[in-house]
Structure 1
Amino acid sequence: MDLDVLNMFVIAGGTLAIPILAFVASFLLWPSALIRIYYWYWRRALGMQVRYVNYDDYQFCYSYRGRPGHRPSVLMLHGFSAHKDMWLSVVKFLPKNLHLICVDMPGHEGTTRSSLDDYSIYGQVKRIHQFVECINLNRKPFHLLGTSMGGNVAGVYAAQYPAEICSLSLVCPAGLPPVAESKFVKQLRELKESKSLSQIPLIPSTPEEMAEMLKLCSYVRFKVPQQILQGLVDVRIPHNDFYRKLFFEIADEKSVNSLYENMSKIKAATQIIWGKQDQVLDVSGADILAKSIPGCQVHILENCGHSVVVERPRKTAKLLLEFLATQRRKAMHKILRARKFWRICNSAMFTLIYYGTRLAQFDCC
């Protein structure tokens, strides 16, 4: 073989080997870095841009796609110990001309974390309202979507700021008294009785505990490699003290039933989505909401657990788009009815004026 040709193959092989070796090294040695790169790449691929905005000295981090248009903007609130990127699996199935905003909840990811902040559900509602005002999202009513803890915050927000919300989607929301005891609630009760509340199932600190948490949250059994489990744990461990503080605040009497206490005040059109096999928050919560919020739509997903957004992203996006389309048709129907009413009123007024004038002329004669 010609020496130049051989050198070309060696150089080409080395060029290919370098990124492959870098990937393998990252996978084995720094799996948490690989996870961060993965989310960064996914955001770019989906056209989600990350921005920061300040309310006084408090910083919010969010990602967005699209611009406000004729359809309502959609604000997405993630769950406990998650982050804005958890919505990417749903964003993938939403149209690019729909204005989407995914915000890091208070204390999470890029949003300010302070030991002095109020992380109760009501405290988080206040912070999210500050964020909404910062980006002028409430210039016209928007759609609010929340899951788990974020669903609790979304429901209370809709109750406290009804003029800002045109419609609401709650995905297996927290904040309701359990009619039936879920596996997670049972585990918490047992931990409380044994005074071992430092070992909360939703706050893993080892790959084995992470695997157990995934089993608890998902009906679908994902085959996650040990290195990825380690990476997921490595990402979370620096934040576990905060997660414990947050958990005890939202599980406190002030917050634990906050959605239940406010659901009768929700005036916006509401959609409930729940996994039938939810082991964290029992699916019976959907009935509680359905009985208190007039005309709300309820969708129970078969073979789905608590992580609806991750397990059934396509279905979640489909249900959301159908719900938004239904609300838009209803809004257009109201506008058409109002226009028809005013045309009738104007016609009647014109008729009265016309005959009134004729009668006046007749009297003068």
Structure 2
Amino acid sequence: MRQEPKVVELPNHLLIPFLEQGNRNGKVLVMLHGVADSCVAFEPMLPFLSDEFRSLAVTLRGHGDAGKPETGYSTMNFKEDLVLLFDEMGIEKAVLLGASSGGFPARSFAADYPERTEGLILLGSPASLGDKPGIVKVWNEVISLLTDPLDENFVRRFAQGLETGNIPSDFLEVMLKENLKAPARVWIETIRGIMNEPFPGSLGKIKSETLILWGDQDVIAAREDQEVLEKVIPNAQLKILSGLGHLLYWESPERVAEEINAFMRFK
């Protein structure tokens, strides 16, 4: 049975949906999704995360059923919301997990708030986007020109470009509905913000241990990106999962959760 997201109102009046499970007194894991997804993106993996931890899957502003201000979709905006979320929910420190582009606010938080970061996990997260000719081409010719209402066929093609074919079709339909909840301006501003993100930026300031999980069939986040992340982030370890693609936490949620559980236990 699917879990109904809870909702917290931040001091900036944004409503943020989240999924929560596990021991409220245990170590905290806060998970951030990628562009156009929502907390629902972590549903397949939640059953496999240990109940000894408090696991929170958060919907970022503008996405899913979260509040959708007219503007404010840069990495800094997402990071500032995360600080408010920690304060509002009484989270002193946590392990941050960023999936795909969710890695950008996760790693930015880890760099700027080391005292509140117990660890960092990146799942198929690119090192940068603005230096990728193929992505720049898609930005110029497609993403930057998006208007509301979004074309469902575009959103479906976008999602299919991330898949390796090992994901249940019913869950893909659930996520398609979530993707369509993000207005065009959210897609545009979020991706523009990521493309303008400097690299390596403040990554050298990250003090916590970092686990980089990457599937060797990933066609979005290249192996070279993972290797450079491992190099520039102190105390980072790259672990390659064979046979998995960009959405590794959908393709093999149990396998990815095992890696996360092991990392959490040694924090």
Whether 2:60 is the aligned partner of 1:105: answer yes
Cα gap change, 1:175/1:238 in structure 2, threshold over 3 Å: closer, same or farther?
same
Match of 1:306 among 237, 240, 246: 246
Contact 1:178 1:284 in 2 (8 A): no
1:73 and 1:196, CA in 2 relative to 1: closer, same or farther beyond 3 A? closer
Matching residue within 272, 287, 295 for 2:235: 295
RMSD (Å), alpha carbons: 2.8
CA gap of 1:62–1:308, structure 2 versus 1, over 3 A, is same
Q: Deviations over 1:228-266 (max 9, x none)?
A: 75x76565445341333334432442x2x35x2121000
Aligned equivalents of 2:74, 2:266: Cα separation in 1? 33
Count of paired positions: 264
Q: Supply the distance in 1 between the matched residues of 2:168 and 2:42 (Cα, whole angstroms).
A: 21
Offset of residue 63 of structure 1: 2.0
3-state SS of paired residue (1:239): coil
TM-score, normalising length from structure 2? 0.86
1:158 aligns with 2:110: yes
* Aligned residue identity for 1:212: R
Q: Which has the higher strand share?
A: 2
Call closer, same or farther: CA 1:248–1:217 in 2, change over 3 Å: closer
- Cα distance, 1:198 vs structure 2: 4.8
Distance 1:93 1:252, change over 3 A: closer
The answer to which structure has the higher helix fraction is 1
Write the letter of the residue equivalent to 1:142: A
1:82 partner amino acid: D
Task: Indicate conservation of the 8 Å contact 2:122/2:211, yes or no.
Answer: yes
Deviation at 1:197, TM superposition (A): 4.4
- Could you tell me which amino acid in structure 2 is paired with residue 250 of structure 1? G
Deviation string 1:169-219 (CA, Å, 9 cap, x unpaired) is 11122452688x5xxx51542663xx454567xx97234x45533432122
TM-score normalised to structure 1 length: 0.64
Partner AA of 1:65 in structure 2: Q
Q: 8 Å contact 2:111–2:202 — kept in the other structure?
A: yes
**Closer/same/farther in 2, CA of residues 101 and 187 from structure 1, 3 Å limit:** closer
Higher relative contact order (CA 8 A, sep 6+): 2
The answer as to 2:6 corresponding to 1:50 is yes
* Contact 1:205–1:233 (8 Å) recurs in 2: no
Residues in 2 aligned to 1:247 and 1:320: alpha-carbon distance in whole angstroms: 26
1:55 is paired with a residue whose SS is coil
Q: CA deviation at 1:221?
A: 4.7
Alignment match of 1:142 (pick from 94, 104, 110): 94
CA contact (8 A) 1:178 1:285 kept: no
Judge conservation of contact 2:97–2:122 (CA < 8 Å) in 1: yes
C-alpha distance in structure 2 between counterparts of 1:112 and 1:190, whole Å:
27
- Identity percentage over the alignment? 18
Unaligned runs of 5+ in 1: 1-40, 328-365
Deviations along 1:119-150, one digit per CA (max 9) or x if unpaired, are 11112111111111111111xx3211111121
Please state if 1:285 is matched with 2:225: yes
Structure 1 contact 219–303 (Cα < 8 Å) conserved: no
Give the letter for the 1:189 counterpart: K
Deviation at 1:106, TM superposition (A): 1.4
Amino acid at match of 1:147: A
> Hey, what's the Cα distance between the residues in 2 that align with 1:223 and 1:87?
14
Equivalent position SS for 1:318: helix
Does the C-alpha gap of structure 1 residues 297 and 249 become closer, same or farther in structure 2, counting only changes over 3 Å? Answer: same
Aligned partner of 1:21 in structure 2 is none
Q: Which amino acid aligns with 1:276?
A: D
Q: Equivalent residues in 2 for 1:147-296 (5 A)?
A: 147-176=99-128, 186=134, 188-189=136-137, 192=140, 195-198=141-144, 205-207=151-153, 209-222=154-167, 224=169, 233=176, 236-237=179-180, 239-253=182-196, 255=197, 257=198, 260-296=200-236
Judge conservation of contact 1:277–1:283 (CA < 8 Å) in 2: no
Could you tell me whether the CA contact under 8 Å between 1:220 and 1:305 is conserved in 2?
no
Q: Which residue of 1 aligns with 2:18?
A: 62
Query: How far apart, in 1, do the equivalents of 2:193 and 2:166 lie?
Result: 28
Q: Where does the alignment leave 5 or more consecutive residues of structure 2 unmatched?
A: none
